[in-house]
Amino acid sequence: MNKMNQHFDFIDGQLCAENLPLSKIAAEVGTPAYIYSAAAMKSQYDSLAGALKQAMPDRDAPLLCYAAKANSNIAILAYLKSLGCGLEIVSEGELVRALEAGIDPKTIVSTGVGKQKSEIAAQLKAGIHQINVESIPELELINQIASELNLKADIVFRWNPNVKGGGHEKITTGRTRDKFGIGEDRIEEAYGLAEQMENITPRGLSMHIGSQVFTVESFKQAFETLPALVQKLRANGHTVERLDIGGGFPIVYKDEKLLDLNAYAQWVADIIAPLDTQIILEPGRYLVGNAGVLLSEVLFVKKTDERDFLVVDAGMNDLIRPAMYEAHHEIEAVQSTNRPWQTYDVVGPVCETGDTFTRGRELPELEQGELIAFKSAGAYGFAMASNYNTRPLPAEVLVNNNTYSIIRQRQSYQDILDQENIPDWIRK
């Protein structure tokens, strides 16, 4: 069986999350709803941690800092922490979530090209492991804030290796033309400046070349830029004791070739480990992507002379990846019966033609009121959801064998309205 389907499979004709029929959850929680499998996350974590351990049996295990942006529900953060993960955060909001989930600040790394003053201050006060610095002006700001707080900031520089990675132009981050990191032209200068700053301790380098990197050789290419750089920095008297090599591991959405984890781990062992630093990774999508589905109900089957539309109750506000990245999600009818195949455009209710999950997809013939599941929706699904068209954010559910917990209530209209206010001068 395809690994992506391992924890979302049919039992007695019913699509299940682990051992729980999705129809049962839908009846109790409603739709649209994100359903996650704890076992699926554990299995991904074990594969990655296991491959690294096998390639480097004699070393301390690398610190796996789960990229919270992929799915930042505090239950997911707490669960991944229980498996052994630290966290990679990109905002103060994610720091707040991390602390709420009980993540040890000493296992948190912070990235982001536009960190704000208040965010930097919060991270320094929390005592996180390191701030991954993306520019010299950011370095200067961190030094200033650390000085005001009378603290010393542990930082690494995000190295831009000028390597293309990433499954889509919008999630490619490691080329000179991308906004991320510091390139060849300024990395030495940045290190030199940092070393003279009273409130900064430069500890090493970080790197992240993109997301859904299925050109796996890109990882090797990026890693291979590090030994010469590290040696050069060390030769010039700089300390390099941490290397954070980012995330980007791909998952299967359709028929992509899976990353050979053992090859990846061996590259880490052969290229990074000899540099004798702490090794940090930032996997996001890999840990949670295949561990979630978006459950939705068919509202209407709308037939036209040209095509048949399956109008479902999930929209682009719930799952924006198809509209934003032309991303593919497998779609499954929750009730498996023997029925003819039919070609559908699967669309949501949002008032944009862009609210189209797929065109011309072959699916079993479906009827109004039936349930479907968008597979591989655990990463960058709920995390990118919005209230567009004043549609409430969907519920999130975590399944553990044959039980489930609602880890986020469906948003109510009152929740949405509570954020807004009509000024008195308009009311009058």
Q: Which of 193, 173, 172 lies closest to 183, judged by CA?
A: 173
Q: How far is the CB of 258 from ligand PLP (least distance, A)?
A: 14
> Which residues are within 8 A (CB) of 228 and not within 5 positions of it... i.e. 6 or more apart?
none
Distance CA 271, CA 253 (A): 30
Three-class DSSP category at 404:
strand
219-227, 246-254, 354-362, 420-428 -> range binding ligand PLP (CB under 6 A): 246-254
For ligand PLP, the closer of residues 26 and 272 by Cβ is 272
Stretch 278-307: interaction string toward ligand PLP, x if CB under 6 A: ----xxxxx---------------------
Is 248 a residue that touches ligand PLP (CB under 6 A)? yes
Is 165 a residue that touches ligand PLP (CB under 6 A)? no
Distance CA 49, CA 415 (A): 40
Is 88 a residue that touches ligand PLP (CB under 6 A)? yes
Q: How many CB atoms lie within 10 A of CB 234?
A: 12
- Cα separation of the two ends of the chain: 64
Known catalytic residue: 351?
A: yes
Stretch 169-208: interaction string toward ligand PLP, x if CB under 6 A: ---------------------------------------x
Whether residue 191 contacts residue 239, with contact meaning beta carbons closer than 8 Å, is answered with no
For ligand PLP, the closer of residues 212 and 317 by Cβ is 212
Is 36 a residue that touches ligand PLP (CB under 6 A)? no
Given 16, 65, 85, 351, which residue is catalytic? 351
Three-class DSSP category at 12:
coil
> Which residues are within 8 A (CB) of 352 and not within 5 positions of it... i.e. 6 or more apart?
316, 323
Stretch 322-361: interaction string toward ligand PLP, x if CB under 6 A: ----------------------------------------
Q: Which residues of 57-93 are buried (b: 16+ CB within 10 A; e: fewer)?
A: eeeeebbbbbbbbbbbbbbbbbbbbebebbbbbbbbe
Q: How far is the CB of 343 from ligand PLP (least distance, A)?
A: 32
For ligand PLP, the closer of residues 112 and 322 by Cβ is 112
Is 218 a residue that touches ligand PLP (CB under 6 A)? no
For ligand PLP, the closer of residues 31 and 73 by Cβ is 73
Q: Which of 370, 397, 212, 171 lies closest to 294, judged by CA?
A: 397
97-105, 223-231, 276-284, 336-344 -> range binding ligand PLP (CB under 6 A): 276-284
Distance CA 104, CA 81 (A): 9
Three-class DSSP category at 155:
strand
Residue ranges in 108-137 that form contacts with ligand PLP under rule CB under 6 A: 111
Residues that bind ligand PLP (CB under 6 A): 67, 69-70, 88, 111, 208, 211-212, 246-249, 282-286
What are the residue numbers of the active site?
A: 351
